[in-house]
Amino acid sequence: MKKTIVILMLLGLVIWGVYDINKNNIKPLNHAETEQSGTEEMESNETVGLEKGNIAPDFTLPTLEGENLKLSDYRGKKVILNMWATWCPPCIAEMPHLQSFYKDHKTEGVAVFAINLTQAEKNRKDIPGFIADYELTFPVVLDEKSQVADLYQVTTIPTTYILDSKGRIEQKIVGPMTYDMMDEIMKQVE
């Protein structure tokens, strides 16, 4: 009984800690840096938003090398849009699954787009080492000002959005995914 109470208290502290970290990062959205472009290609009846069936909000973020990547450039592919940090144990557990899934499916029209919540990092210099240690070959971009995390209402990591080939949101997953989960979900996405 005491063990259960201690575990529940620790879980509560972890949840409170994640909330506390993220509540301080909420800022008004700067539309100059977070884009809603690409809508000219969409039918006028498609809505940009975070609900299932909505077009995922577009954005451009830099890689570690300084190259800018834009979400809408991945239209035509099914996308696993994953938000994570190097210090997050569930994110760490998920990364080998993401890498394996990407390696096995990248030639089948599936893309992994990993967004590091850089402002939540203890040390930005940990990111390149993390990428090297886990041999990540999919694109990793830096959300340095938490604009995309705010736009996508991310309060817990990892958070993953599954997008179909037209850029529509199919599913939101809060928490880590396994290879088998990704495989099952992506089989249902057009």
CA 54 from centroid of its chain's CA atoms: 17
- Three-class secondary structure of residue 158 per DSSP: coil
From 73-77, 119-123, 153-157, the region with the lowest mean pLDDT: 119-123
Of 19-23, 84-88, 151-155, 181-185, minimum mean pLDDT range: 19-23
Query: How many angstroms separate the CA atoms of 188 and 38, rounded?
Result: 25
Q: Which of 168, 171, 172 is nearest to 75 (CA)?
A: 168
CA angle, residues 106, 110, 116, in degrees to nearest 5 = 90
Q: How many CB atoms lie within 10 A of CB 51?
A: 9
Q: Is the pLDDT of residue 162 over 70?
A: yes
Q: Which residue has the higher pLDDT, 24 or 163?
A: 163
Stretch 100-115: mean pLDDT, rounded? 96
What is the count of structural domains for the chain?
Answer: 1
We report the CATH number of the domain holding residue 54 as 3.40.30.10
pLDDT in tens, 22-81: 443 333 333 334 444 443 344 446 899 999 999 999 999 999 999 999 999 999 999 999
Structure tokens at 55: 């077009």
Q: What is the pTM of this model?
A: 0.77
For residues 127-136, average pLDDT: 97
Cα separation, 44 vs 158, in Å, equals 32
With 90 as the cut, is the pLDDT of residue 117 above it?
Answer: yes
pLDDT at 161 over 70: yes
- The domain in which residue 104 lies consists of 2-187
